[in-house]
Amino acid sequence: MPLLRAICIKIMKNQKRIRFERLAVYRTNEVLKRLKVLGNCGNRSAYEYSEEEINKIFAEIERNVRDSRAKFHFPKGRKEFRL
């Protein structure tokens, strides 16, 4: 029975890995496509914008990238709560 359990666990982990790879590739490509579309707004002959507006846009994008990246880091150990 322990061997069967180990095999089942290995299969489940492999399925999670496959699902992660499929979704990560798809979602990353979607983000990259949308960034390319946003970059089209940089055409000064078609659009008018200020440096401040551009800074706001990219500050928000960078903040969201940092927040998303943080979700992938695992803490090495939980610290005990203290007041």
* Nearest CA among 60, 62, 78 for reference residue 70: 62
**pTM of the predicted protein model:** 0.72
- Which of these, 43, 65, 64, lies nearest to 54 by C-alpha position? 43
Asked if 41 contacts 49 with a C-beta cutoff of 8 angstroms, the reply is yes
Domain residue extents for the chain? 2-40+47-70
The answer to whether the beta carbons of residues 64 and 70 sit under 8 Å apart is no
**Which helix (H) or strand (E) element contains residue 20?**
helix 2-39
State the residue for tokens 């000064």.
44
Identity (one letter) of the amino acid at 3?
A: L
14's tokens: 């492999």
Q: For the segment 28-82, what is each residue's pLDDT rounded down to a tens digit?
A: 999 999 999 999 999 999 999 999 999 999 999 999 999 999 999 876 666 776 7
